[in-house]
Every structure is written in C-alpha cells, then in structure tokens.
Structure 1
C-alpha cells in the first residue's frame, strides 16, 4: 500500500494560494499533509523470524525444560521502534506568487520537479486578473502602500483606457518577436504568429501577449492580462504606468493568477483539499494533459526524449521520496 501511494505522488498538481500566505508556507503545509497521509496508511506486515523459546516439554510429568522453534514477528521496522516511515518529501514550486498575490500555484512532487523545469523552458503564458484603483499613487504600487500622491480621474473613460491597452499590447508583441529571434519573412514565423505560438528563446523582461479591460467603474477597473516572464511587482507597476498614460495615477489592489500554462483555476486544489488522496487524484488526472502539452511545447528541445513517468515505483522503506 505504501509503495502504491508513493507511485501515485510523482507528478504535477495545482493549488490555490490565498492572499496573505507565503508560497513557502503553502509548500510546507502540503508536505506535512502528505506525510500525515502516507504515515497513516496501513504498514506492511512485519517479517517473521524463527526463535527458540525455552519452555516445559509437552507431555512431560517432570518439570523439564526444552527449546521449541517458534515464528515471531520482527519489530525492528515497527513505527513504535524506528519512528514514522516517511519524514520528508521533495516538493518543488513552479512560477511563484508573492505574499499579496493569489491564484494558481503549480507544485511538483518527486519526479514531477523535473516537469517544472520543462514548464519553465517551454515559456508558457500565464493569465492574471489585475484590479486597479484610479486617483492614487503609492511607493510600492499597491493600494495599501505608502500614499505619495492623489489626483483626479474624472477625465478617464473606457475608450481612453482601451486605447492605452491596445498600445501596450502592440509594443509588447513587437518585443516578443525580437526576443524570439525569428525571421519575419519566413513561412514558419508567419504560421507561429497566426497560431500565437511565438515564444522567446531565452530570458526576457515581462512580455504581455494580451491585455483587455473586463470591468470599468471609476475609480475601479479590472484587467485581464496574458503574459510571460512576469513578476507580480511587474503587474502592479503596469497598473501604475497605465495611470500615468491616462494623465492620472493608479494603484493595484489585487493580483490573481487564473492560469499557469495548462493549469487553470478549475485544477487548483483549495486549502481543504490539501490531503494525500486529493493530491494523488489531481496528479493522476493531470498527468496525460501534462505529458501531451509539454511534448507539444518542447518538441524541438526534447526530440524523441521521453518525459519522466509518473508511475515509477519506489521502495516503501525509503525515508525520503526522491
């Protein structure tokens, strides 16, 4: 049972990180819950060994003692003797979220940590909803930061905001082409541009591949941003820059990741679901999609190389999941 439980823990899954929670705390909480689940499982039957026990001889009227061969369990591996069977798990975290941000956070368990590297090398896009507030400026671009300026915003309209967003998207798309090192005159570049599969070849600044306004009710507005190579601070600064382009100021009141590559909010486990069986089910459900998407995204880099198999077996006696 322990071996089967370990085998089903190799892979990727997504958790929902609430605002105010550090990603390190989320990872440690998940590890603790997995260890509790693994150690709560029924341990394998103890091995038997032969011992010669001293006792009275059967059928003897006199008080004679004799040695009798008896099978007894070996207790050297019993939890009460050697402690819990599992004391640590290796869990990796993908694209991180800072304390104030919330949303989809991808984690890899065991060999799933290798897949996190593949996700990074694939330069997959991520979706965010970013809430802004007009008329204020803060030192860290956040609503709860130190207020440094107030300004009027009555002149800002939805049309003006949409125009600024279109300009931002256009400039970032040009930058994306430059960082992709593609020859725009080739058929390959044209087909990649049509399908939206252009990716930068190496590291780059934040690149916005899509941005639009979902809701506009001054002073509040809500943006949907599709991007790559971003940090949450980049997104808050983007709200600040939009405010400046609109001849006013703006601060960011919320950053929420709704998609990380091929993981969406529907895949993210809530805090009440951070347990062994829910995570095992989530890893197994995502495994075929993860393999297919990574093979598609990394076809040029991987070639015929096989992706790590999430069904690899491991010894249940090991104290650490590799």
Structure 2
C-alpha cells in the first residue's frame, strides 16, 4: 500500500545515475522522454491532491439611490492562484534534467548510463575513470552502406570468397597487438623500460589523455561467411568508430563489410543485469536502480587503480543492496499470488485403480 508523501521528499532523492537498457530502433532522445514521462506520472500519483485554500472577497452592489458601488458583505471562494489547473502538476517534464554518459545510435542497443538532475554532474568524473566497455558486433561481408550506418543504403558490393576464419583471426591478432603498443604510447611509457614491464604484469596502462579510442581486446565469436561476430573491449570509443572498425577489418582482407548489429553489453562494472528495461520504468524501480548504481560506483572507486585499465568483475545486486524497498515511498511488499497454470475446470479428483 502506498502512502502519501510530499514533493520535496521525492525531489530530495531524485538525483543520481541509473543504468538503462536501450532497445533497438529507439533513439536516446525518445528513451529519455519515456523515462522522464514515467518519473513525472508516478511522482504526481504519489502526491495527494492539494487542499485549495479559500479567500474572502467583498460582495459589491450598487446603492439603491446613488447607484454607487458599496460593499454589502463578504463571501468565500477558492483561491484559484493555488489551483492545480493554474499552477500545474508538482513534477513537470521540463523540470527534470537528464543526460547520457555515452551516445548510442538509434539502431544500436544495450546498456546505457543516464544522469538525472544532480547526477549529470557525476558523468564527467565517470568518463575520466576510462572504464573498459564491451561491445558485440555483427558484421556482414561484401556490402558497404552509406556512412557505414546500420540501417543505411547499400552503396558498394564486393566479393568475399577469399576471406576465411583463419585470415580474419590472424588480422585481429595483429590489430590487437598494435592497439596494445598504442596504449603504452598514450600512457607515455617506454616499451623497453622497467615501468612498462611492471604495468604489463598488472594489466594495460591507462591513457594520460582521453579521447583516442583504444581496443584492449578483440575476439572472433563466430564466422560463417558472409556473417561474422566480434566482441570488443575498448575505451573512449564512439558509435561511429565501432561501425568503421568493421569496415576497416574487411578492407584489410580485400573486401568490404558493414555492421548489421551493435550491442553494448557492458560499461565498466555495469552489465545487463543492472539495467532497467523500458517496461520497468516506475518510480520505485528507478529509485532502487539509483541506489544500486551508487553502490557500484562507490565499490568501483575503492577497487580501481589510477594507472591500470582492467576488466571489472561482475558485481551481484545482492552485494550492493539487500532490500528492494524504497523508504521515501513507504511501500510495503505485496504478496504475489501464483495461479495454478495446470488447473482444470473439472478438478483433480482421480479414481484409484
């Protein structure tokens, strides 16, 4: 059962970072509008209707002889300056600020991080942590689209008979070695020094200047020409960089290719288990996810190394938050009644043989 709360109670906790799963063919702008609409509608339902105050207004009538206006009494009426139809709802869409941490195109999908209100100021600090993000890419050989877009028009077609799994695997190994060398160069570390050896024992060095895409890991999941899938672990990547990466790999093999699907499966310590689906956009779930993200960010700050970039281990939800109740909403757990899916209309009485 939900009890009434004030708007200030909800506003006081409506600040933080949330993890959301972006569906395919839905832009980030549309997803943010859906999220803000869900917050406003649920928050306005939690607040009881305001008690509209009354004011006294004079009753003015003309004098029977002089026809001058005189006050003959006082009457009470509602103060329309405080009426909800005049001042509006307590929570409005334009009052909520929301920003994304990384951009994903409309045709892409996967895990996204959003900052809400004061949580937007935390996004820049999270970007500076240079988390390793994991992407799953599905490419198709022999076709090239306009600007390498996933839904783009096919502009070039080429043969791909000479492309084999062995050749692609060998090329990906060389590309990964080149990016590993680039990681040491961007960290201002000499590959022949003792410092480079110590960093290599711990992991890969963190770039001193962010902004240059670095691929720390490439794996070929499947290859069945013309389709193939890759898993990339990278830092400072963009949506266009990942699509261009598929094309550049194919060009190095003597053909061309286009990205058919792009899925962000992990952003640092956040994965699909920590994300909210659009059908779960309720105020209670959003507050719970904020608490979850706050705990994961604090746990990551303790375990992270300023000089090393490393894959984050999976963090279970029960390690961060034990209960799923939101104190600000004063919600009580409801017992879910599970219906018998095998129940039959004539009962379950059987005759013994």
TM-score bracket relative to the smaller structure:
0.7 to 0.9
Structure 1 segment 6-155 matched on structure 2, within 5 A: 6-43=11-48, 77=82, 79-80=84-85, 82-87=87-92, 88-142=95-149, 144-155=151-162
CA distance in 1, matches of 2:128, 2:197: 22
CA distance in 2, matches of 1:50, 1:143: 62
Deviates more, 1:195-204 or 1:95-104: 195-204
Count of residues paired in the alignment: 285
* CA pair 106-295 structure 1, distance change in 2 beyond 3 A: same
1:65 corresponds to: none
1:267 shift after superposition: 1.4
2:281 corresponds to: 274
Deviates more, 1:148-157 or 1:11-20: 148-157
Structure 1: unaligned runs, 5 residues or longer: 52-72, 301-322
* TM-score scaled by length of structure 2: 0.72
* CA pair 86-299 structure 1, distance change in 2 beyond 3 A: farther
CA distance in 1, matches of 2:201, 2:52: 63
* TM-score scaled by length of structure 1: 0.78
Q: Does 1:289 align with 2:333?
A: no
Q: Deviations over 1:134-177 (max 9, x none)?
A: 12223322454333332222332221111111111111111111
* CA pair 223-84 structure 1, distance change in 2 beyond 3 A: same
1:86 shift after superposition: 1.9
1:124 shift after superposition: 1.4
CA distance in 1, matches of 2:111, 2:254: 33
Of 259, 270, 280 in structure 2, the residue corresponding to residue 252 of structure 1 is: 259
CA distance in 2, matches of 1:197, 1:283: 31
* CA pair 289-161 structure 1, distance change in 2 beyond 3 A: same
Structure 2: unaligned runs, 5 residues or longer: 57-77, 308-353
1:265 corresponds to: 272
Q: Secondary structure at the match of 2:200?
A: helix
